[in-house]
Amino acid sequence: MSGNCGSLAGKVAVVTGGSSGIGAASVRQLAEAGARVVIGYNLGAERAEALRAALPGSGHRCARIPLEDPQAIAVLAAELGRDDTRVDILVNSAGFTRPIPHADLETLDDALFGEILLANARGPYSVIRALLPLLKASGDAVVVNVSSISAFTGSGSNIAYCAAKAALDTMTMSLARVFGPEVRFLCVSPGAVATDFVAGRDRSALEKQAVNTPLKRVVEAEDVAAAVMACVTHLRAATGTRIVVDGGRHL
C-alpha cells in the first residue's frame, strides 16, 4: 500500500462482524480513508445496511458471512473474485462469547465450547482460507484478526474464549510466516471494550475496571479500529505479532 500511507483509495476491504461494535468502527474508518468496504454480518442485516448507507464514498456492499458455513464463505469469495479480482484488507472482527465463571465447567459444556472455538478461531480460518487467493492477488494485502488480551492473560468471559483467542493468535503467527511478503497477518488485542459484545457488561462496570488501569480510561470501539487502521496503513514492517489496546489493563 504504497504512496500516501493514510489513503486507501482504490483498496478493497472485507470486515467480518462489520455491522456493530469494533467491526462497524473499523468499517467507518476504512471507508473514511477511501476503501471500498464489504460489510460482513450474520444476523445484523438491517444494521449493516444502515451503516452502508451512511458511509462516505461509493461501492460499499453488505454480505452475510456465516462463520459456521465454509461453503457459503466460498461462494462469497467467488463473487468477490468476479467483481473485484482481489482483496487488499481483511478484518476478522466477528466473534461470539458468553460470560461464564471460569470454575463453572458444567455451564461451559462441550457443545458450547465448540461453538465458541468455531466463532473465534475456525470461523476466521475459514474466511482467510477462502479469501487467500484474492489476498495474494493484491500483492500487498493485510489481514487483521481482532483477538483479545484473554489469549495471553487467561482471564476473560469464559475459558473457551481464552482458548479460542490463543488459537487465533498462534494461527496468525503461523500464517504470517508462510504467506509473506504478499500478505501480512496481525492481531489487534483489546481488553474490555465499550460495546455490547459481552452480555451484562455495562458502561459503569467498564468505568470501574478502567480506574485500576494505568491509563484510567475506557477503551472505545474507535480506539481498537484505530489500531486496525495502523496495522493497515502504518505498521508496514510488522507481521505475525499483536497490537495490545487495553489501557494497560494486562500490566
C-alpha cell at 15: 470486515
Q: What is the DSSP letter of 229?
A: H
Q: What is the DSSP letter of 118?
A: I
Task: Please state the separation of Cα 247 from the chain's center in Å.
Answer: 19
Q: Where does 118-246 have alpha helices with state H?
A: 123-138, 150-153, 159-179, 203-211, 221-233
Active site includes 125?
no
Contacts of 19 (CB under 8 A, 6+ apart): 39, 40, 41, 44, 45, 47, 48, 51, 62
Q: How far apart, in whole angstroms, are the C-alpha atoms of residue 60 and residue 222?
A: 20
Using left for φ > 0, alpha for ψ between -120 and 50, and beta otherwise, residue 38 falls in beta
Selection from 127, 117, 13 nearest residue 65 by Cα: 127
Q: Which of 161, 179, 185, 197 is catalytic?
A: 161
Residue 156 near residue 162 (C-beta atoms within 8 A): yes
Which residues are identified as catalytic? 161
